[in-house]
Amino acid sequence: MRLPRELDPIEIRVLGCLLEKERTTPDGYPLSLNALTSACNQKSNREPVMRLTATEVESVLARLRSEVLVWPEEGARTLKWTHNLDRKWSLSPAAMALMTVLMLRGPQTPGELRARTERMHPFTSSADVENTLAGLAEGDDPLVVHLVRQPGQKEARWTHLVGGEPDEPTSVFVASAAQPPASGLAERVAELEERVARLEDGLARAGIDL
């Protein structure tokens, strides 16, 4: 089993933030409790936006530590936390980047995922994203699933299975050259969100609170 059980939304947010900050702000990783709480409550690149207290995050860390999903850094003056998902999942950097964004943002199209993982892994195309997602969806213990394309949507979305089966209907992904291209607007919006996230990270490192 890649995970001992289905995780709740706060546990998923905590792990997603540890994954994200390890790759986007490595100088500040592992994370202290306060830094992790701020990351969980970040307004950009989060769906939904949460308002967690340090006590709530600390309680989640205790549960995840008991299952060896997170671990405190030894020898630091301030207790800092790191995830253990590299060992649990043994995923490529590309696959880990996609899991990170799916855990933080929920269901997304390949075009959105490509733009939002830019700082973690540079995918060459939406097809490259789809190929990696298809690999994550395979086997007896899949981590993602392909959702049925909804009316009015140009692309079908993908979602993670860390918290259990999704409420929306799913479908088997079949790669096809005839699939509709990614929405240019969706990709531009995702790119702007990434720029905002970079600015927020820079301000946070400078001690400026938004």
Structural domain count of the chain? 2
Asked if residue 84 is part of any domain, the answer here is yes
What is the model's pLDDT at position 187?
58
The pLDDT of residue 152 is 84
Q: Are residues 96 and 180 in the same domain?
A: yes
Same domain, yes or no: 14 and 74: yes
Sheet holding 170-171, edge to edge: 158-160, 144-147, 170-171
Same-domain pairing of 79 and 116: no
* Model confidence band, residue 191 (pLDDT cutoffs 50, 70, 90): low
Q: Per residue, what are the HEC states of 108-122?
A: ECHHHHHHHCCCCCC
In a domain, 4, yes or no: no
Give the Å distances, CA to CA, from 114 to 2, 17, 99.
24, 18, 12
- Name the average pLDDT for the chain: 89
Q: Is residue 154 part of a domain?
A: yes
Domain contains 72:
yes
Q: What is the pLDDT of residues 41-69, one digit of tens each?
A: 999 999 999 999 999 999 999 999 999 99
3-class DSSP assignment, residue 126: helix
Residue 26 class from Cβ within 10 Å (0-12 exposed, 13-18 middle, 19+ buried)?
exposed
**Which carries the bigger pLDDT value, residue 180 or residue 63?**
63
Rounded Cα distance, 69 and 94, in Å: 20
CATH code at position 166: 1.10.10.10
- Of 45, 61, 88, the residue that ends a domain is 88
Signed CA dihedral, 96, 99, 104, 108: sign only: positive
Task: For 54-114, list the strands marked E by DSSP.
Answer: 70-72, 80-83
